[in-house]
Structure 1
Amino acid sequence: MSKPNPTKAAHQFVEKYFPDCQGALLAGSTVRGEYTATSDLDIVIFDTSISQSYRESRFEFGWPVEVFVHNLTSYRQFFESDKQRARPSMPRMIAEAITLKDTEVIQKIQEEAQQLLDDGPEEWTADIIETKRYFITDALDDFIGSSVRAEELFIANSLAELISEFVLRTNRRWIGASKWIVRSLKHYDEEFTERFVEAFDTFYRTGDKHEVIKLADDVLKPFGGRLFEGFSLGKSK
């Protein structure tokens, strides 16, 4: 049985639970046309009667619903937090959303979100890059040296996250988690993403580590390659 129209269901949800709100948006996969049988409705509410932001999950009008409720200033704390961690979940959600309800507040908020996305994350310092090189080297050494399949799988997972983060952040691009790792990489460079996915897919299917190791070395090479000798963290100068 197919789900009801997502936009219609979202309008019904807002009318039922937030009839007096100043603004409401529908975001996520339904807006991008990428929703699946397990997708939910991501609804963002702006309501001046709310003193504290909150998130809630419900099942309404034939859909699982994730509702994110803010007043007209509280969302900025999430913008700043997302900027600091370089994962712009809330800004992206708001910038790409469609309007369900507006009392002339939505445009300004969406412009703020889009500006943050356009600006990109803060540039990594040389010290941060050095530290990340060390962490990749450490995980890579574990990956190369391990002969226990169960351990290799989880080392590979860690290495994939470290490499994707390093590539994106050294190019001042936003990072992601879970499915957004690949999406963030694609936004940066589709050719590199294809190589990245193929390298790890080959390892997971066959156990062949060669392409993952080469990928890691190629990513580190412009920054001095692997780093172990002389690395120090927290030592007083």
Structure 2
Amino acid sequence: MPFPSDPLFYAAGLVATFVMAMAKGAFGGGLAIIGIPILALAAPPLDAAIIVAPLITFMDVFAVGAFGPKHWSIPDLKWLLPALVVGIGLGWLMFVAVDSRWVTLVISVVTLGFTAHYFLKGRSAPPSNAPTSPPLAIAAGLASGFTTFVAHAGGPPIAMYLLRRGLDKTKFAATNVAVFMAGNLVKLVPYAILGLARPHALWAALALSPIVPVGVYAGRALHDRLTRETLFFWCYLFLGVAALKLLIDTVRALMV
């Protein structure tokens, strides 16, 4: 099976992959919801989703090297990771039983309210130092697992929880990496099954993979240069953009 030959695919695909990889290196991830639509400009939506699945797992390999376990917030991960796996399972089990669009709509609206509060009041407030909250961590993990399965949008719930905690910038990014790595590994199984039926999508992912380490390490260099305040400003901004994109997509789906 040959690699893709369409120049538009490489133009869109390399940009999308670099953006997602740079976000992984700078913030720990969370921009797959933006990268997938860019890639979908040059590939069918299902192919775009299949292509992204192995790419973001490949990004995790380099991201873990940049943000190793010594930077992870273990007390938070003890609650987030089991809830995340359960959330992915619930998303799979409830995919046909529950209208996931309404769940996604609620999450996007809550996330937009969270980011709006930051830009209206939170930027002038002193950094928070909230303790680990098992109930909130479980809720964030469940919501993230559910939305990452049904809408490739697991970032906002985790980001809201970790930003509330007031972690330092490296621990925030590293803990994000650990959460997304676990979620991506779990999701890789069903996407691998889909990929077997569409092998051209797996070849396309392989064609884009060389840009992954470039993007991750560029993001890590950006992470090291930015102050905590500046990094979190961009985290909140991208979080708001992702939530707005999720809201628009969900509203469109509900109107069909």
TM-score normalised per structure 1: 0.26
TM-score normalised per structure 2: 0.24
Higher strand share goes to which structure?
1
Q: Which has the higher contact order (CA 8 A, sep 6+)?
A: 2
